Amino acid sequence: MVALSGMVRGGTGRLKEHPRRVLATACGAHALHDGYTDLLYVLLPIWQTEFALGYAAVGALRAIYAGAMAGLQVPAGVLSRRLGGPAVLVGGTALAALAYLFAGVSTGFLFLAAMLILGGIGSSTQHPIASSLVARAYEGRSSRAALGTYNFAGDLGKMALPAATAWLVNLMPWRPSIMVLGLVGLAAAALIAGLLRGESGAPAAAAPSHAAATTGTAKSASIPAPGGFPVLLVIGIIDSATRMGFLTFLPFLLKAKGADVPMVGMALTLIFAGGAAGKLVCGLLGARLGVLATVFLTEGLTAAGILALLPLPLAGGLALLPVIGVALNGTSSVLYGTVPELVPAERREHAFGVFYTGTIGGGALAPVLYGLFSDAAGVPLMMVLVAAIVLTTLPLAWRLRPALRQVARSGA
């Protein structure tokens, strides 16, 4: 964590001197915040029973957390330039931890929803800052593999904290369980603050060195045809909406097959394990096969996997989940890794903020819409709809060909 904050202030030149340290630190931050975000999937079925919620209300709980996180991606980047990355990171971590701590004493739906909004605000601080750091530390072709590794680390947190939540809920009621997780987050925030004591409070986006500016100018001159980034963003929004919709209602599908809370936690661990492998492997695969072929492969497998899951019994479904996880999460590494190739170097932090805002925003809205559909038609039919919608990314990916060809010609 200390490396992340130090590198944010250090400017592009220093980032390039310590790329591995930048990457390792960004990965640690990603794991922590993504774990906090995705442990909600374990809690949603519990809250449905506790507060007598319909599927639309369950989707709304997931949506308000993700929506707060999405809406503040760009402002978090602006704030980091004013206050410094360390202060924003510590404050965001503490706020997310406090949200879980106070959610543990909630007695009603509205108070719980308010705490989830606070948690989403806290979790908005990590993505745009850390991903732009990695992109600046690893220029050119190597940035795709580095960003794939960064995304892989987020899935490690997604595996660890939901599994820990399921284990805690099996030992004690859900309220003290999430209070424990909140205390862990506060301890982590205090540790980060102690490690960063004495560091400068320079802006997060320090002025680039002459060499970095020259590189940025060269990159700007080789930007592909207009329209590449917007198409990539739309694909990312659909991909994120698919992932969030599927994961939000997967526990309910598994409960209908006979799963209890610990088994739901194990199922999420399996799918996140597959997702972690998918992000790492598909990030590397995208560098070899190209964006177009990889998106066709992962999105096609996602639709096929969801449809195959529906008729399977519980044991067969659990066996299939890691495979679905590989396809479900693999696309994102390819998409994130393509962002630096489609925008000038000096606009990357803003582009990542816009990209995360759009994708997380799509993921925030999806559970509400899919929840309304589930209330009307049931979860299985909703899953069929999810599989159908993800296939719309295939013709969109085909439209990226001109921009990707120009990137290849420019040698970016």
pLDDT band at 195 (very low <50, low <70, confident <90, very high): low
How many CA atoms lie within 13 Å of 281's alpha carbon, on the beta-carbon side? Answer: 15
- In this prediction, residues 108-112 reach a mean pLDDT of 89
pLDDT-wise least confident of 15-19, 41-45, 51-55: 15-19
Confidence of residue 407 (pLDDT cuts 50, 70, 90): low
Q: What is the DSSP string of 245-284?
A: HHHHHHHHHHHHTT--HHHHHHHHHHHHHHHHHHHHHHHH
Domain ranges of the chain: 2-193+222-410
Identify which has the larger pLDDT, 168 or 287. 168
User: What does the pLDDT read at residue 21?
Assistant: 65
Rounded distance, CA 380 to CA 307, Å? 9
Q: Which residues of 195-204 are buried (b: 16+ CB within 10 A; e: fewer)?
A: bbeebeebbb
- Indicate the pLDDT class of residue 206, thresholds 50, 70 and 90: very low
- CATH class of residue range 2-193+222-410: mainly alpha
pLDDT tens-digit readout, 172-187: 999 999 999 999 888 8
Task: Compute the half-sphere exposure of residue 193: CA atoms within 13 Å on the CB side of its CA.
Answer: 13
- pLDDT given at position 317: 94
Q: pLDDT averaged over the chain?
A: 80
Query: 69 versus 310: which is more confidently predicted?
Result: 310
The DSSP letter of residue 84 is: -
Query: Amino acid identity, residue 132?
Result: S
Q: What is the mean pLDDT of residues 311-320?
A: 94
Choose among 82, 77, 85, 86: nearest CA to 195.
86
- To the nearest 10 degrees (0 to 180), the angle between helices 401-410 and 228-256 is 120
Confidence of residue 239 (pLDDT cuts 50, 70, 90): very high
Q: Mean pLDDT check: name the lowest of 269-278, 310-319, 348-357.
A: 348-357
Confidence band, pLDDT 50/70/90 cuts, at residue 228:
confident
Pairwise CA distance, residues 13 & 193, whole Å: 25
Place of tokens 């390039």: 16
Nearest 10 degrees: Cα torsion 301, 305, 306, 311: 150
CA–CA gap between residue 412 and residue 407 (Å, rounded): 6
Sequence-ordered list of residues with C-beta below 8 angstroms from that of 388, at least 6 positions apart, any chain: 303
Greatest mean pLDDT among 53-62, 87-96, 273-282 lies in 53-62
Q: What is the pTM of this model?
A: 0.73
Q: Which two tokens stand for residue 304?
A: 């096929």
Average pLDDT over residues 357-381: 90
E strands in 344-383: none
